Amino acid sequence: MIVGSQKPIDEIWDMVKEFKRVIVFGCNTCVAICHAGGSKEAETIASMLKMRSSNEGVDMDVSSTSVMRHCEPEYFDEVIDELRSYDLVLSTACGVGVNFLSERIGNIPVYPGINTSFFGAVPEAGVFEELCAGCGDCILHMTGGICPVARCSKTLMNGPCGGTNEGKCEIGKDVDCAWYLIVQRMKDLGTIEKLSEVIPPRSWSTSRDGGPRRVSVEHIREYEESAEQKTEAGGSK
Amino acid sequence: MAEDNTTALNEPYRPYGADIKETRPYSPCRAACPAHTDVQAYVGLIAQGKYTEAFEVITSVNPIASVCSMICHHPCEQACRRCGVDEPLAVRHLKRFAIERSQDYRRAKRKLTKKTRGKSIGVIGSGPSGLTAANDLASLGYDVTIYERHPVLGGMLASAIPPYRLPREMLNEDIDDVISKGINVKTGFEIGRDRKLEDLMKDHDGIVIAIGLSQSRSLNIPGVEGDGVLLAIPFLEDVAFDRKPDLGKKVLVIGGGNVAMDVARTARRMGVKDVSMVCLESAEEMPAWKWEIDEAIEEGVTIDNRWGPKAVKRENGKVQGLEVVKVNSVFDDKGRFNPSFDDKTTKIIEADTIIITIGQMSNMSFLKDGPVKLDERGLIQWDRDTHMSSASNVFVAGEVVTGPGSAIAAVASGHRAAMALHLYLQGEEIKGNLPEHEKDKIDQLPGKVVDLLDREQRQEIKHLPPEVRCDTFTHFEIGYDEAEALKEAGRCRGCGGGAVVDPNRCMACLTCLRVCPYGAPKVFAVSEIRPEYCQACGLCAPECPGQAISMVSYDVNEIRSSMPDIIGKRDPKRSDPVIAAFLCTHHTGVGGFNVPGNIRTIPVHCISRVDVLDVLSAFSNGADGVAVIRCADGSCKYKGVAKRVSSRIGRARELLSMLGIENERTEMLTASSTNGNRYSSVCTEFSEKIKELGLRSS
Ligand SMILES: Cc1cc2nc3c(=O)[nH]c(=O)nc-3n(C[C@H](O)[C@H](O)[C@H](O)COP(=O)(O)OP(=O)(O)OC[C@H]3O[C@@H](n4cnc5c(N)ncnc54)[C@H](O)[C@@H]3O)c2cc1C
Ligand code: SF4
Ligand code: SF4
Ligand code: SF4
């Protein structure tokens, strides 16, 4: 899931202080799970903003609401009119949500209430770990299921650098060396000889270097399109 | 307490969550009560010092609550989930306590109901079932008349149950509540003798027959006719109406049920030192409640088990004793009552008076050949689903049709009959629309949860010592004082009042599953909180990032909405800081808790409920300092609260410091529940500290 973290209130205040009517808009999926931007945190930020505005003597009307997800348009339906009655939407969804809502809401600014950090797992309550970088060309079958793109500080593809030190990365004692983990894991799996295969230079066009990415699941799209045609044919639209 | 509630006198009080509860399995105590009294709700209210609210919950389903607080056989206690931990809650004694504390309130509340229906109802018999039916029908707007053959109302409660168990003042409080609705009363009026049923049916639009089982059964053995042999009910009636018969020196009671115990113990109180009982059953098989037997034995009554009556021995007509024959067995292999005797083994038990207490029946002579048909056994023909007799506007309630049971079961039957008659007069379908007998209930506590709960001794009720109580008909139980009642109410686990998840808000994040100390949540597509595990502590609700969790028995948002009123206006020229103190209701609601005016106490079910947002809200409403006061280890009835709440306070401090509010202004403090003063001194000490730190200007 997508992991986010809250912004300091000073930073948020600088963003919102010019606006009279502000709504903090929470997303109840990924960022709720990581306790950054769900309905409860949206209410907390709203409450902080109310206190801040009254401290500053600024007359500001702040409220909060939330929906299940900000990344699919149907979820907005119930609240979009309400959102439009504000001067600013402070979204506590991930950046996807901020972009997505900005495109749909009309002439009302949507600002980010949190920082979108990465996508990761929850090894224990309250801890979130980045395990995948979403590079678009997965090679985990060659690296024992451990991703060198996300977890090697230098994104090395064919073994560790000289900075590997007793399982740790040279950038810091608390950072595991991804290649150390890969070697251990592949030994355990009995697949270590696979590592002698050289991973050819990668095409980064599937990653950030190829511009904004888009995945289209054609069989689902086809279904959607035919459903659209049907309703059009039935004249119910 | 009474004056606090005077404004609410006209609106019936509904406990929080009453509607949700109807859709969920009942707590076992509530399911076991024939009238489905919401025990969990009222015990919870008592624990918070809300005695009149508790009274409202009790009386909303039970018009003879005072009576039940004295004599109910309390099936709720037998079903209580605490039985799996140590001992059941003392529900009946708590009921008595709440009722005693609400006496002024209930008297002030009595008022006529409007007769809006333009229809009249005659109720025959004024026992629990008749009183209940009359009460309900009057509340629904009917013009109700009760016909009672005895000089007073109350049925067996007034005429048979001895006053050492049921003081008549208590019964009369209940009767006054009912009658004050504007019910017409005709006592000393026997249907059949003073007016025929057929005529009564012309006087009214509907009739409820609630005549109970007011005749004793006798034995068909030689010598039974004549002086010196009495029947239980006439004997108890004679005592109740002050026509005390002469019993001689030795009394023998035949029978082993609860009525037999009452008869024997009544004889003891009439000055007879030598009272014995004889019954077919062994000590274990006796139908009387164990506590009744123990109390009788304490009072010096002796019991001869496994003997059957054979003949009454008389000399010159005067009773000498009872010849009895040894019992081999009482029940056959199929468990049916079918006694067999060893005819060779007999003996004579000496007695001056023999009282036969082997069961009761109704006097149906007034129904013979009338519109209400009897079956081949002489019992009224009726439809259990509609409470209707063979005559369409004559309904039946109570023991006359259900057979012997308890007062509260007769109440439940009265409710059903009243509702049935009401539906009938409205022309609506009766079947399927009456209060149900059986309700789904929460399972007993899982072993895993039992292991986590502290053992806490039940607060035993004191009795007058046997030497004293046998000389008098005064009530022998001494009720709880406030400290005892609060302690006992605090033992309740609040079954069924716990967490529920709104599936539209849950994103299956697992937080509740990780937080719950009792393993109640299971998360599939969404979280499902299992009521048999949940202890209603409330720890999970504030942690849920989707705000999907609410509590059945209390409002998790109440704190924030009531905060502005509690904190009130802040005086800019104040010299003392305004302190918001979150305290567990189980300690602030009760008498003797006092803090200086600058400390605004915010009662919470448990501090487990206090959230980051609540602390923020206290400051944003103007508090100079916020104290969350936890109960010392061992006195909190839940697990793991302190640790969680202190991390929430850490988070609140972090956020508040971003707004320039110092960490010292938010504190978690500890007090002990056994000492109410400690709570207030902890608050005052904190207030002093904040004073030194200075008052907030913004
Ligand atoms: C000695 C004794 C002890 C008991 N102890 C307990 C106890 O501890 N706990 C408990 O829960 N239950 C106890 N019970 C049972 C309880 O009293 C009954 O369950 C309850 O009273 C039944 O209520 P009812 O309304 O059906 O009938 P009843 O209470 O019997 O009332 C029927 C009324 O109808 C009147 N009546 C009859 N015929 C006519 C007529 N023709 N015209 C006018 N009026 C008429 C009778 O006089 C009587 O007042 C006890 C019963 C007895 C006898
Ligand atoms: S613990 Fe309380 S709610 Fe639970 S069964 Fe016992 S009396 Fe009822
Ligand atoms: S904490 Fe809330 S959102 Fe998370 S699983 Fe439990 S109920 Fe669902
Ligand atoms: S945390 Fe408390 S209220 Fe929540 S499910 Fe567990 S026992 Fe119930």
State the Cα–Cα distance between residues B22 and B3, nearest whole angstrom.
31
pLDDT 10s digits, B438-482: 999 999 999 999 999 999 999 999 998 888 888 788 888 999 999
Same domain, B88 and B45: yes
**Record: contact A54-B509, CB cut-off 8 A:** no
Domain contains B431: no
DSSP B197-228: HHHHHHH-SEEEE-----EE-----TT-SSTT
How far apart CA B41 and CA B174 sit, in angstroms, is 21
For B536-580, the DSSP string reads: ---SSGGG-TT--EEESSS-TTHHHHHHHHHH-PPPTT-SSPPEE
Closest residue in chain A to residue B620, using alpha carbons only: A51
Centre of ligand 4 to C-alpha A103, Å, is 41
SS3 A4: strand
Q: What is the average per-residue pLDDT within B220-248? A: 95
The answer on pLDDT for A232 being more than 70 is: no
Q: Is residue A116 a contact partner of residue A94, using CB atoms and an 8 Å limit?
A: yes
Residue B643 lies in domain: 555-693
* C-alpha to C-alpha distance for A148 and A156, rounded to whole angstroms: 6
pLDDT at residue A124, rounded to an integer? 81
Q: Give the pLDDT confidence score for residue B570 in this predicted structure.
A: 80
B660 vs A: CB within 8 A: yes
Is A10 in the B-facing interface, judged by CB distances under 8 Å? yes
Q: CA B611 to CA B40: how far, in whole Å?
A: 25
Q: Chain B, 583-612: which have a CB under 8 Å from a chain A CB?
A: 612
Per CATH, the number for A2-118 is 3.40.50.2300
- CA-nearest of B286, B226, B227 to B255 is B286
Q: Is B499 in the pocket of ligand 4 (CB under 6 A)?
A: yes
A220 in contact with B, Cβ within 8 Å: no
Contacts of B658 in chain A (CB under 8 A): 8-10, 48
Work out the average pLDDT over B637-665.
94
- Strand segments, DSSP code E, in chain A are 2-6, 21-27, 61-67, 88-91, 110-112, 114-124, 127-132, 168-169, 172-176
Mean pLDDT of A6-21: 96
Q: Are residues B569 and B676 in the same domain?
A: yes
Q: What's the total number of domains in chain B?
A: 5
Does A53 touch chain B if contact means CB atoms closer than 8 Å? Answer: no
| Ligand 3 atom nearest to B501, measured from its CA | 7
Q: Are residues B527 and B480 in the same domain?
A: no
Which tens digit of pLDDT belongs to each residue from A87-116?
999 999 999 999 999 999 999 999 999 999
Same domain, B387 and B297: no
Looking at the fold, whether B629 and B652 belong to one and the same domain comes out as: yes
Residue of A nearest to B511 (CA): A125
Q: Is the pLDDT of residue B114 over 70?
A: yes
* Lowest-confidence region among B255-269, B548-562, B575-589: B575-589
Question: Ligand 2: which residues within 6 Å by Cβ?
Answer: B 27-29, 39-40, 43, 80-82, 89, 91, 492-495
CATH of the domain at B514: 3.30.70.20
Is residue B534 lining ligand 4, measured as CB closer than 6 Å? yes
Domain ranges of chain A: 2-118, 136-197
Q: Is the pLDDT of residue A33 over 60?
A: yes
Residue of B500, B522, B526 to mutate, ligand 3, most atoms within 8 A of C-beta: B526
Q: Does A6 touch chain B (CB under 8 A)?
A: no
Mean pLDDT of all residues in chain B? 93
What pLDDT does B417 receive?
98
Q: Work out the average pLDDT over A12-33.
A: 96
- Ligand 4 center to residue B639 CA distance, Å? 10
Interface test with B, best of A5, A35, A51, A62 (most B CBs within 10 A): A51
Same domain for B332 and B210 = no
Nearest CA to ligand 3 atom 3: B506
Using pLDDT thresholds of 50, 70 and 90, give the confidence band for residue A205: confident
Q: Would you state the structure tokens that stand for residue A47, as one six-digit string?
A: 């409450």
Which of B504, B544, B613 has the CB atom closest to A47's CB atom? B613
Which atom of ligand 3 sits closest to the CA of residue B540?
Answer: 1
Rounded Cα gap, residues B581 and B602, in angstroms: 6
Residues B664 and B653 in one domain: yes
- Closest residue, chain A, to B509 (C-alpha): A33
Q: What is the pLDDT of residue B197?
A: 96
pLDDT category, B654, cuts 50, 70, 90?
A: very high
Measured CA to CA, the distance from residue A131 to residue B363 in angstroms comes to 84
Please say if the pLDDT value at position B518 is more than 80: yes
- Of B553, B568, B586, the domain-final residue: B553
Q: Residue A227: is its pLDDT beyond 70?
A: no
The pLDDT-based confidence of A199 (bands split at 50, 70, 90) is confident
Q: Which residue of B has its CA nearest to A121?
A: B509
* E strand map for B86-183: 120-124, 143-148
Q: In B, residues 503-522, which contact A (CB 8 Å cutoff)?
A: 504-505, 507, 509-511, 514
Last residue of a domain, one of B376, B392, B425: B425
Residues with CB under 6 A from ligand 3: B 501, 506-512, 521, 523, 526-527, 544, 546, 548-549
Confidence of residue B3 (pLDDT cuts 50, 70, 90): very low
Asked if residue B586 lies in contact with residue B43, where contact means CB atoms within 8 angstroms, the answer is no
CB spacing of B544 vs A40 below 8 angstroms: yes
Same structural domain, B222 and B356: yes
Q: Same domain for B476 and B416?
A: no
Claim to verify: residue B605 and residue B656 sit in the same structural domain: yes
The arithmetic mean of pLDDT across residues B596-613, rounded, is: 90
Q: Considering only the beta carbons, identify the residue of A10, A38, A52 that sits closest to B545.
A: A38
Calculate the alpha carbon distances from B658 to A45, A93, B618, B648 in Å.
12, 22, 16, 16
Residue B570, token pair as written in the block: 């802040």
Tokens 């950054």 belong to residue: A36
Overall size of chain A counted in residues: 237
Closest CA to B601 of B593, B612, B609, B592: B593
Residue B523, chain A, CB below 8 Å: the answer is: no
B655 touches chain A (CB under 8 A): yes
pTM of the model: 0.89
User: How far is the CA of B297 from the CAs of B171, B301, B302, B338, in angstroms?
Assistant: 27, 5, 6, 27
DSSP, residue by residue, A19-87: -SEEEEEEESSHHHHTTSSSHHHHHHHHHHHHHHHHHHT---EEEEEEES-SSSGGGGTTTHHHHHTSS
Which of A1, A14, A40 is most worth mutating to test chain B (most B CB atoms within 10 A of its CB)? A40
**Residue B413 maps to which CATH number?**
3.50.50.60
